[in-house]
Amino acid sequence: MKKRFFPAIVLLLFCFFFSESAKSDDALLYKIDIKTDINPTSRICLDKGLREAKVKKAEAVLLHLNTYGGTVVDADSMRSAILYNQIPVYVFIDNNAASAGALIAIACKKIYMRRGANIGAATVVNGQSGEAMPDKYQSYMRSIIRSTAESHGKKTIFDGKDSVQQWVRDPRIAEAMVDETIYIPNISDSGKVLTLTASEAVRYGFCDGIAETVEDVVRDLGYDRYRIEEYRPSLADLLKGFLMNPAFQAILIMIIVAGIYFELQTPGIGFPSLAAIVAAILYFTPLYIDGLVQNWELIIFLAGIILIILEIFIFPGFGISGILGITFIFGGLIFALLNNDYFTFDEVLVPDISVSLLTVVAGILMAIILCLWMSMRIGERGLFRKVALLADLESANSADPAKAALAGKIGVAATVLRPSGRVLIDGDLYDAVSIIGYIEAGEEVKVVRSENMQLYIEKV
């Protein structure tokens, strides 16, 4: 019986090794899907997908693209990654490659489009209103889309005995996708931003073929035996992309600033400081992992917080310490978003600076609004009803006879009053407010009046 099974085992092993050998002979094509807005998440997915394709020794990368556009900063990073990738990147436009998507598609070695697909309309617009941004933004976009088209070089066209050099992708046509003033006879002469259909893109050299499926693209590329592996983003990639979204970063900045403000208004360490710490970790950690944040930028941010604390609790009034603290915090938040080397900004793009400034300013403005709103809401029905010190204000205009009798009394400041704090009068502690300037602990004070359950005092 054993002799009968031996040839069968040998045959099975032979088939197994033969199939594995045949499998290894198949060309590996690595597919990356970009079917959302161009944002930090799509940039992270592309970067990681390109790295994995290199590790797996793929022969080519196939980008499956369908997007209406997104942020210029992320699009520029993605087109650079494609242009300088060692493995050729081909793109299959499945319906749309608009705005930032057009820039990414033009960076690829070959472009394939589904019938009915479109490419173009790459004018830089405001993400909120949809209006065109000022010319300095358009100038930058014109430059990078033109240089991207130029990067594919020229090809030689033979006409009988003569030959002529022609751009593989005409930079003027690419520029017309951004600037409506570009005039190209019979192509862009309508005074509108250029958008090409699939057949038009083939005619003008911005599409290498019409395809309905990924398999059609692969066959046109000349691969007979191949296998396709697809990049699948991890939960960590998606979370990192979400945390690096400018809108969410502005919210984190709002929580950081508001948390610092409310913590300085209340004694001890409580919820505001915890919220600020968590928001700061969520803000800086993905940027640190991405290589944007350096240690000195974190030190600047922390130094700013320390200077603000010193200004409030140590130095009277508002002076150099407070100004430096605000400047350091503001600078630390901005520098964290830029790919700078200390104070060298050679690698920093103009849109990067604009986005970082808008993100930080928006976060601080939201923090100011939040602080004002929450200050008015403390003690009312709402989020802070359990942590606020509530008083019975049913008779707001009535005075507490015991406190009213304190008018004119002399006491001692039990805590620093900036301007509110506590005072010691006749052996009892009372909440009080300084009506003129700050009062340090231990200084003699005089009760001026009592209104709405509150003592108002001044220095003796």
DSSP readout, 185-245? TTTB-SSS--EEEHHHHHHTTS-SEE-SSHHHHHHHTT-SSEEEEE----HHHHHHHHHT-
pLDDT for 162-210, tens place per residue? 778 889 999 999 999 999 888 888 888 777 899 999 999 999 989 999 9
Question: What's the pLDDT tens digit per position in 320-335?
Answer: 877 888 888 888 888 8
Q: Are residues 223 and 248 in the same domain?
A: no
In a domain, 178, yes or no: yes
Count up the domains in the chain and report the number. Answer: 3
**Predicted local confidence at residue 88, as pLDDT:** 96
Q: Report the pLDDT averaged over residues 112-131.
A: 84
**Chain segment 346-374, per-residue pLDDT in tens:** 666 666 677 788 888 888 888 888 888 87
Of the three residues 216, 234, 252, the one that is the final residue of a domain is 234
CB 435 within 8 A of CB 458: yes
Which residues, at least 6 apart from 370, have a Cβ–Cβ distance to it below 8 Å? Answer: 254, 258
Identify the CA nearest to 85 among candidates 40, 23, 39, 32: 32
Residues 283-309 have a mean pLDDT of 84
SS3 letters across 132-186: ECCHHHHHHHHHHHHHHHHCCCEEEEEECCEEEEEECCCHHHHHHCCCCCCCECC
For 166, counting Cβ atoms within 10 Å of its Cβ (0-12 exposed, 13-18 middle, 19+ buried), the class is exposed
Which residue type sits at 155?
K
Domain shared by 325 and 217, yes or no: no
Q: Measure the CA dihedral 250/251/256/258, to 10°.
A: 110
> Smallest Cα–Cα separation from 169: which of 201, 212, 130?
201
Q: Residues 121, 224: one domain? A: yes
Task: Collect all residues with Cβ–Cβ distance below 8 Å to 277 and sequence separation of at least 6.
Answer: 259
Q: Alpha-carbon distance 44 to 160, whole Å?
A: 49
Whether 396 is in a domain gets the answer: no
> What is the predicted pLDDT for the residue at 347?
62
Give CA–CA dist 457/440, Å, rounded.
13
155 φ/ψ angles, rounded to the nearest 5 degrees: -125, 155
Identify the CA nearest to 404 among candidates 450, 352, 354: 450
Side-chain half-sphere CA neighbours of 410 within 13 A: 3
Same domain, 365 and 415: no
Q: Residue 193 domain-assigned?
A: yes
SS3 122: coil
For 42, residues 6+ apart whose C-beta sits below 8 A from its C-beta are: 34, 36, 67, 70, 74, 78, 241
398 pLDDT above the threshold of 60: no
Cα of 458 vs its chain's centroid, Å: 49
> Does residue 387 fall inside a structural domain?
no
* C-alpha closest to that of 253 among 341, 353, 357: 357
Residues 229 and 256 in one domain: no
Which comes out higher in pLDDT, residue 386 or 352?
352
The backbone torsions φ and ψ at residue 12, rounded to the nearest 5 degrees and listed phi first, read -65, -45
Contacts of 433 (CB under 8 A, 6+ apart): 417, 419, 420, 454, 455, 456, 457
Q: Which residue has the higher pLDDT, 155 or 345?
A: 155
Domain of 56 in residue numbering reads as 19-234
What percent of the chain is modeled with pLDDT above 70?
82
Question: 197 and 329: one domain?
Answer: no
If DSSP codes are grouped into helix, strand and coil, which group holds residue 370?
helix
Tell me which residue has tokens 């976009």.
Answer: 141
Are 147 and 69 members of one domain? Answer: yes
Query: Residue 358's Cα: distance from chain center in Å?
Result: 11
> In terms of pLDDT, which residue wins out, 101 or 428?
101
350 and 261 within one domain? yes
- 123: pLDDT strictly greater than 80: yes
Cβ(330)–Cβ(360) below 8 Å:
yes
